[in-house]
Amino acid sequence: MTGRDVAAGRLDAMTLAANFADAHPPLTAAQAVVEASRCYFCYDAPCLEACPTGIDIPGFIRKIATGNLKGAAVTILESNIFGGSCARVCPTEILCEQACVREAQEGKPVDIGGLQRHATDWLMDQDIQPFIRAPATGRRIAVVGAGPAGLACAHRLALHGHTVTVFEALPKPGGLNEYGIAAYKVPDDFAQREIDFILGIGGIVIEHGKALGRDITLDQLRRDYDAVFLGLGHAAVNALGMGAEALAGVTDAVAFIAVLRQSPDKAVLSIGRRVVVIGGGNTAIDAATQARRLGAEDVTLVYRRGPAEMSATPVEQDWAKTNGVRIRHWAEPRHLIGRDGSIAAVEFERTTLGADGKLAGTGQLFTLEADMVLSAIGQRLLPQPVPMLTLAGGRIAVDEERQTSLPGLYAGGDCIAGQDLTVSAVQDGKLAAEAIHRRLTVGA
Amino acid sequence: MADLRTTFAGIRSSNPFWLASAPPTDKEYNVVRAFQAGWGGVVWKTLGEDPPIVNVSSRYGATSYNGTRVSGFSNIELITDRPLAVNLAEIKAVKRAWPDRAVVVSLMVPCTEDSWKRILAEVEDTGCDGIELNFGCPHGMSERGMGSAVGQVPEYVEMVTRWCKQHSRMPVIVKLTPNITDILAPARAAKRGGADAVSLINTVMSIVSVDLDLMAPTPVVDGMGTHGGYCGPAVKPIALRMVGDIARDPELAGLPISGIGGISTWRDAAEFVALGAGTLQVCTAAMHHGFKIVDDMIDGLGNWMGQKGYPTIDAFRGLAVPRYVHWDDLNLNFKTIARIDQDLCIRCGLCHIACEDTSHQAIAAVRLDGHRRYEVIDPECVGCNLCQHVCPVDDCITMVPQPASAAPVTWKDHPANPLRRVAAE
């Protein structure tokens, strides 16, 4: 047995380019009209209710059908300023499209995501700024985190005439849209183009390299600004343990995905011949699938429970399988087996549900050889910068308006409870912005 | 197996599906391809006097509906633009080669007896099965005193028909324009003139769309547009009504009808036959999809006839005519109420919003444990059946006849009618 088989450039440049190009190409104009015509324009439409941001889906689809693409895009963006990226990354199969009455009727919902992309892409291609800011209010709001929650909040506040400063620790804005999503879902620098569009409204300044608790403090922000919104996301990943940090080749999947996204040339990225991914969420799927697309020969995703318990949707699981990822359920890692300081294999124990309904080991072991292990066993909030805030389940506790335990301090996105989705983060930011606006204007 | 052979005004054809007088029947080449594909007959594109007319470019407009192309079709083309002698020679050759198919020749010449007399002799010499008088073309030719300019004046229809019967032995089919208030007037005139049959409808005068960039009706010819003749699936309801009116008219009893107007499928054809048509003429569907569509028309009609036990076209021809009555012959005491099959319902709410916004507020939108449910409010339902039409699910909404509350009564006898018939004491 030779040493660890990790190499860059396993695939030729053309194959790599194809593997990281748009995984789901856009609808053509003709396809969009035909697909839009499938929408029944339901009364009290179930899809609309299933959208966390409440986009008037039948309304925008009808506008596509009639050729009113600007109207369609504005209808989307009024409810969800990240409508373009949500069209690409939303798990529509568990949201609007699951609720579509066509799904009930014939098992084939209207392609709402595809239509949403058609309209928003059109608008961005025209370079139209459809929103006009209200007259300046003189109010200043601080937003921490330039991810979807923070920027959705900033945009809505700017729309109402407020001035917003966004503090972002990383060199680029976008949060998970820029760093945390598979490259083929948002190719062609879409995340940055969308943010340019969002910032085009004016009144928003992003200060990069500013981390809460390191460069700025909450006290400072609360003192200097009329209101504060926290869109902190998950700054920490759960540790795999088992001595992972001592072994070369064991990486957290979030970092793997971020590096991949930030590399314009995928040929320089090293990937193992045999890759084991541990976890059951979309991060695990994105890591495993992209490992395959980088040229890994054998990728196995191992999850400790069954397919129904995976937080990755069935569509995502199928996507991984289509890409040649093997998914093994009901197994937990027990030992990382190293050789000369590098990972060589992972020993798993088969699991089952015990009589008490809790996960239990069966004592049966198996080993998967691995040149690389990607750990995707969850992310969490780093609470150190916000010690004064009440937490619930490890996340910042908020009320319906997304206000934290401190008045004038709001939070949204992955740092609060709820579904960890871009679309939910956008809704949090939007609701918080409206609450802040009310707070600053009522009795003003 | 059903027998689809027809004899129409003495003209035999292997099946009732004829290509209407139009571009598909302008040349031997097209007609031979049509016969090879299985069409039972053709009405050759209208012949006129030499020199031939001149056509424009472009010639067609079409309506698309929700991505479906050519749901309606319009043309500004005129009659054949080829020399008369060329057409006559080709007609003669085709008829000789295809004796079991109907070859009818459409004609349009100026409204003088000499013009008709001259061309009739030449056409009869081809051995064709009959002639169809084009009294319908609503554009270009009508401005020259032909086409619908004749068809809109019953006296002219009768006069020309009479000339044709006097100066030839061929069966004469009079093609009627729908661009008239009462279709019975020209139909009765044709019969008085001795017509062997009528065919209808010709195209409906139309502007199919306006080009909003060029600000001109389509098709745009060097910046300008003109009205055209509308046909295709969109006009089928108009055609069915006019066919039915002629079929039920006692004065026209027994006059053969060749049905035309948006016939695209065997089912359309069966509906025309049920309202009295003996043959069917098709154009737009063939221009959209090619001649092969006749395959399913023949096959589908035959299968349906077999299933229904109709051995021939004549066996079901006109069966719906006695049930096509005037409004004041309908029973005002008949009542239906909508029923929603909750198992089939997909909760789109279209029945509710249609009734709520535009009709009788007879369908309630409720939530049961968060689930949408749409329920008919029986006392409010008038049985209009709008909900049934907007429901996207087949058989989800049915109209259930209610037990009769009183004996049948029509408007003629209804108490609310001040002019009602009073029963004899």
Could you give the dihedral angle defined by the CA atoms of residues B116, B118, B122 and B125, in that order, rounded to the nearest 10 degrees? 90
Tokens 């009709």 — which residue? B359
Burial of A358 (0-12, 13-18, 19+ CB in 10 A): exposed
The CA–CA distances, whole Å, from B107 to B47, B87, B154 equal 5, 12, 18
Name the helix (H) or strand (E) containing B358: helix B350-358
Q: What one-character DSSP code corresponds to residue B144?
A: G
B window 25-84, beta carbon within 8 A of A: 66-67
- Mean local confidence (pLDDT), A102-125: 97
Q: Nearest-CA neighbor of A115 among A76, A61, A78?
A: A61
> pLDDT 10s digit of each residue in chain B, 425 long?
799 999 999 999 999 999 999 999 999 999 999 999 999 999 999 999 999 999 999 999 999 887 789 999 999 999 999 999 999 999 999 999 999 999 999 999 999 999 999 999 999 999 999 999 999 888 888 888 888 999 999 999 999 999 999 999 999 999 999 999 999 999 999 999 999 999 999 999 999 999 999 999 999 999 999 999 999 999 999 999 999 999 999 999 999 999 999 999 999 999 999 999 999 999 999 999 999 999 999 999 999 999 999 999 999 999 999 999 999 999 999 999 999 999 999 999 999 999 999 999 999 999 999 999 999 999 999 999 999 999 999 999 999 999 998 999 999 999 999 999 876 55
Interface test with B, best of A31, A101, A106, A111 (most B CBs within 10 A): A101
Q: Which of B66, B347, B353 sits opposite A46 (nearest CB)?
A: B347
> Beta strand pairing status for A359-369 and A342-353?
antiparallel
Q: Residue A335 and residue A397: Cα distance in Å, rounded?
A: 36
Contact of A107 with chain B, judged by CB distance below 8 Å, is answered with no
Q: Residue B244 and residue B157: Cα distance in Å, rounded?
A: 20
Strand order across the A342-353 sheet: A331-339, A342-353, A359-369
How long, in residues, is chain A? 444
Distance from CA of A284 to the nearest CA of B (A): 34
Render pLDDT for A355-369 as a digit per residue (tens, 0 to 9): 899 999 999 999 999
Predicted confidence at residue A3, as pLDDT, reads 66
Q: Residue type at A204?
A: I
| Residues 6 or more apart whose Cβ sits within 8 Å of residue A316 | A91, A282, A285
Count of other CB atoms within 10 angstroms of residue B352 = 27
Burial of A127 (0-12, 13-18, 19+ CB in 10 A): exposed
Distance from CA of B397 to the nearest CA of A (A): 14
Work out the percent of chain A whose per-residue pLDDT is above 70. 99
CB contact under 8 A, B348 and A34: no
Render pLDDT for A184-232 as a digit per residue (tens, 0 to 9): 999 999 999 999 999 999 999 999 999 999 999 999 999 999 999 999 9
Q: Residue A257 and residue A273: Cα distance in Å, rounded?
A: 17
Q: Which of A30, A37, A46 sits opposite B66 (nearest CB)?
A: A37
Render pLDDT for A377-400 as a digit per residue (tens, 0 to 9): 999 999 899 999 999 999 999 999
Q: Measure the CA angle with vertex A288, ends A286 and A289; round to 5°.
A: 65
Distance from CA of A400 to the nearest CA of B (A): 20
- Mean local confidence (pLDDT), A313-338: 97
Contact of A105 with chain B, judged by CB distance below 8 Å, is answered with yes
Q: What one-character DSSP code corresponds to residue B333?
A: T
A104 chain-B contacts, CB cut-off 8 A:
346-347
Instruction: Give me chain A's average pLDDT, please.
Output: 96
pLDDT band for position A1 (50/70/90)?
Answer: very low
Contact of A106 with chain B, judged by CB distance below 8 Å, is answered with no
**What phi, psi does A147 have (nearest 5°)?**
-85, -170
Please report the sign of the dihedral spanned by the C-alpha atoms of residue B303, residue B308, residue B311, residue B312.
negative
CB contact under 8 A, A43 and B393: no
Q: Residue A126 and residue B417: Cα distance in Å, rounded?
A: 63
Beta bridge partners, B133, equal B107, B174
Beta bridge partners, A141, equal A164, A227
**Is there a catalytic annotation at residue B345?**
no
Which residue among the candidates B128, B137, B164, B396 is catalytic per the annotation?
B137
Q: Which of A34, A44, A102 sits opposite B67 (nearest CB)?
A: A34
Complex confidence, ipTM: 0.86
Distance from CA of A101 to the nearest CA of B (A): 5
CB contact under 8 A, A33 and B67: yes
Beta-carbon pairs below 8 A across chains A and B: 40
Q: Residue A138 and residue A171: Cα distance in Å, rounded?
A: 28
A41 chain-B contacts, CB cut-off 8 A:
350
Predicted confidence at residue B189, as pLDDT, reads 98
Predicted confidence at residue B397, as pLDDT, reads 98
Q: Nearest-CA neighbor of B134 among B173, B168, B162?
A: B173
Distance from CA of B350 to the nearest CA of A (A): 6
Q: Which two tokens stand for residue A110?
A: 């209207």
Tokens 């109209």 — which residue? B399
Beta bridge partners, B134, equal B175
**Could you tell me if A7 and A269 are in contact, meaning their C-beta atoms sit under 8 angstroms apart?**
no
Contact of B348 with chain A, judged by CB distance below 8 Å, is answered with yes
Q: Residue A312 and residue B164: Cα distance in Å, rounded?
A: 79
Q: Residue A5 and residue A342: Cα distance in Å, rounded?
A: 11
Predicted confidence at residue B84, as pLDDT, reads 98
- Mean local confidence (pLDDT), A102-126: 97
DSSP A378-428: -EE---TT-TTS-EETTEE---TT-B-SSTTEEE-GGGBSS---HHHHHHH
Render pLDDT for B338-362 as a digit per residue (tens, 0 to 9): 999 999 999 999 999 999 999 999 9
The CA–CA distances, whole Å, from A189 to A20, A28, B38, B410 equal 12, 21, 57, 72
> Beta strand pairing status for B60-65 and B68-75?
antiparallel
Q: Residue B57 and residue B79: Cα distance in Å, rounded?
A: 14
Q: Which two tokens stand for residue B176?
A: 């009627």
Q: Nearest-CA neighbor of B390 among B366, B367, B363, B372?
A: B363
This prediction has a pTM of 0.90
B352 chain-A contacts, CB cut-off 8 A:
43-44
